[in-house]
Amino acid sequence: MDSSDEEESRTFVQVISEKYNPENFPYGQGVVVLPSPPGSPVKDRLFLPSFLVLNNCGISKAGDRSDIAAFCGHVLELDLSHNQLNDWGEISTIVSNIPQLDFLNLSMNPLSSVHLEPSMADVFFRVRRLVLINTRVSWDTVHTLTQHTPELKELFLCLNGYNTVSESRASCSSLSLLQITDNQLQDWAEVRKFGRLYPRLSTLVLANNSINSVEDTKETLEHLFPNLRSINLNNSGLSKWEDIEKLTFFPKLEEVKAQGIPLLQSYSSQERRSLLLAQLPSVMVLNGSAVSRGEREDAERFFIRYYQDCPEPELPQRYQVLVSKYGHLAPLAEVDLRPRCTVVDVRWGDRVEPVSLRLEHTVGDLKKRLKALLQLPTNGIRLFHIDREMSSVLGPEELKCGFRALHSYSIRDGDEILVVPRVKNRCSSSDL
């Protein structure tokens, strides 16, 4: 075996022996050194942290069982992502000697073409959170794992290239969270299978799939997903409001994410949120933001006004429900939000020029403009606002602060901006 083969065949035991060698902790740092069992190849053992991160370490084999047991009897969480594990027998050897294992991350290991025998899967029985991102594991392997993990709560199957979902004769009744983002699922018929596979599912993350519709009836959705509280449909293919309406058929739904869908592309950000909220009366969190009672009422009133001029056949079902709640609403008065402008006389010596000002601009912006108009350096002038109606009482007001907006000076049409040169004070010894 050449050196490259040895490097590729690093064992789990080797890696933890190297990473947690006492020589790497000269000052202790709270790490306890334990005596080795007789005959052990590892002279000094470390009491490892309960959460082991051993990603990108080139691990492809387990190593000695007794060493794993001696190292990891108390370990609760294990991250083995980005390694070279391609044999479920080796993985089972590691897991079987970590009796308290709760969390296991096998992401980015090459597991696409390896089969998991049911006899090997028994060792996973304590795992409650399992991450298999970008492993390309088959659905048969997934089902074997879920059937042997009776306490499994969270399952991550992202980036596995799935375009279909294979069903299993046995469901996993413990699973509450399924994250299956960045796959190639398109038909709702595939999503429907999750309801049968995981009947207690409360969180379903379908982001970055091409799900094109929600096809089931109210009765079917209520039956399939009776406990679903959160669904993520970001960057899916939903293009009809009917699909959003059908989300209300999930009896316990409280949180929805639906950003980046074709349905909402033609709307403004305010319209998107308001129209979604009005269609989803039970949702308390939308696209990651909590919904207040006031925001919901504003959204529902907006919804009525948005659709009130539509022909009767085109009105969404939700419209009549909201009209019965609020009544028919008068249109809101139109408010002109365009930037305010005013025309003033700019006086420079004997010269007077009418100038149109954008009042949201600052004093500094005005000085730059007058520099071009009057051919003067901005730091060589002072500006004074003269209110023609109040000048006899107030007198000129200098525009000093370059960052201050012009509208804060109450400048109106017909007022005057006086431009005067800035005079430098010069003191000489003869003045003293």
The tokens for 74 are 């108390």
Residue 115 and residue 87 in contact, taking contact as beta carbons nearer than 8 Å: no
Residue 190 lies in a domain: yes
Q: Do residues 256 and 386 both lie within one domain?
A: no
Residues 296 and 347 in one domain: no
Lowest-pLDDT range, 127-141, 207-221, 238-252, 412-426? Answer: 412-426
What is the value of pTM for the model shown? 0.73
Assigned domain for 290 exists:
yes
* 81 and 177 housed in the same domain: yes
Q: Are residues 307 and 362 in the same domain?
A: no
Query: Could you tell me the CATH number of the domain that includes residue 403?
Result: 3.10.20.90
**Share of residues in the chain with pLDDT > 70 (%):** 87
Provide the domain count of the chain: 2
Q: How far apart are CA 75 and CA 78, in angstroms?
A: 7
β-sheet bridge partners, residue 294: none
Distance CA(418)–CA(399), nearest Å, equals: 10
Q: How far is CA 51 from the centre of its chain?
A: 25
* Residue 73: closest CA among 47, 53, 93, 106: 47
pLDDT tens digits, residue range 54-68? 999 999 999 999 999
**Does some domain include residue 318?**
yes
Q: Using CA atoms, how far apart are residues 209 and 159, in angstroms rounded to an integer? A: 10
426 occurs within a structural domain: no
Please say whether the dihedral angle defined by the alpha carbons of residues 268, 274, 278 and 279, taken in this order, is positive or negative: positive
3-state helix, strand, coil in the chain (%, to 5): 35, 15, 50
CA distance 230 to 144: 26
In a domain, 429, yes or no: no
- The encoded tokens of residue 102 equal 């709760």
CATH number at residue 55: 3.80.10.10
* pLDDT averaged over every residue in the chain: 88
Least confident stretch, 137-141, 161-165, 380-384: 380-384
The domain of 151 spans: 10-326
- pLDDT class for 284, splitting at 50, 70, 90? very high
Is 360 found in the same domain as 294? no
The three-state secondary structure class of 289 is strand
- Say yes or no: 345 and 321 in one domain: no
> How do strand 381-386 and strand 416-421 relate by DSSP bridges?
antiparallel
Same domain for 241 and 368, yes or no, is no
In tens, the pLDDT along 225-236 reads 999 999 999 999
